[in-house]
Amino acid sequence: MQLSRANPEAVREAVLAALNKDLACEVLEDGTGRVGCLTPLEYPDGDAVVIWVREMGDKMEVSDYGEGLADQEFRSDYERGIVSDIARGAALAHGVAVYEGRLGTQCIPKELGESILRVASASAQAAASIACQKPSRRKESEENEFVRLVDETLRGRNVPVEREHKLQGSSGHSHRATIYVPHTHSILEPVGGHWNQVASVYTKFSDLAPVNGFRRYSLLDDRQEQPGDDVRSLLVQVSDVIAWSGHDTWLSQIR
């Protein structure tokens, strides 16, 4: 067939052939009778969007079974709220519903094809829109006292340290490393768990991360209680995370 702008039928058939190549349906082998439909749409990681179809009386349930929102590992309740907003936006844009993390709809059989494409589009859009987020808070602590303890312990182990060492971040902003080990260019930021401090360390390390040569450590004060998983989850994105209770082990790395 001749392919040209003057031949819309040829263009249509070329598109259909491309879609057809990437379309496949299979019965799920778990006895539920559900059918999985591999669509030509893809999630950001390159996996095809799969939409599942189930008969419900005279209607069909069409769902992504939550696969569009599956990737939410570092998310607090606040962040999950944002993800829910993204999902609702994608659902609204494609005329489908979102429930318990699933994007889907119900339809009569003659609307099945269109419904599958709408749910697949919403699922792919939601997955592509999900962005990174931030965690929650913890108790106020004696931050200065912890910094002093770290400082004195390092000096007591013959690790030369500098306090409030000035460093320039990638933005051009001037930061102060709370504890700096010049020999290994290590920056230690003691973290007591108070959210403002956690956020401040995160910002500082985010700006210093693109600057070559510095080793960045978030040092968690776990003398009385473990900081929350959300604190670790946030800080590990921009630094190595060490706990005070393990200083006998990690001290050799930074001296």
Give the interface with another protein as residue ranges (CB under 8 A).
22, 24, 26, 28-30, 32, 34, 36, 38, 42, 44-48, 50, 52, 54, 65-67, 69-74, 80, 100-102, 132, 206, 209-210, 217, 229, 232-233, 236-243, 246, 249-250, 253
Distance in Å, CB of 94 to another protein, minimum: 19
Min CB(6)–another protein separation in Å:
31
* H or E element, residue 243: strand 240-243
Dihedral (C-alpha) 67, 83, 198, 235: value to the nearest 10 degrees? 20
**Smallest separation, CB 254 to another protein (Å):** 9
In terms of CB distance, is 10 or 199 closer to another protein? 199
Give the number of other CB atoms < 10 A from CB of residue 153. Answer: 14
Q: Quick one: 22 or 114, whose CB is closer to another protein? A: 22
> Can you tell me the distance from the alpha carbon of 162 to that of 176, in angstroms, rounded to the nearest whole number?
10
Measured from the CB atom, is 106 or 200 closer to another protein? 106
Q: How far is the CB of 109 from another protein (least distance, A)?
A: 19
Output b/e per residue, 217-253; b: 16+ Cβ within 10 A.
bbbbbeeeeebbebbbbbbeebbbbbbbeeeeeeeee
Q: Least Å distance between CB 50 and another protein?
A: 5
**Rounded-to-integer distance, Cα 9 and Cα 40, Å:** 21
Nearer to another protein, 50 or 177 (CB): 50
Diameter over CA atoms, the chain: 83
Distance (Å, whole) CA 38 – CA 132: 28
- Other Cβ atoms less than 10 A from the Cβ of 97: the count is 15
- 150 or 238: whose CB is closer to another protein? 238
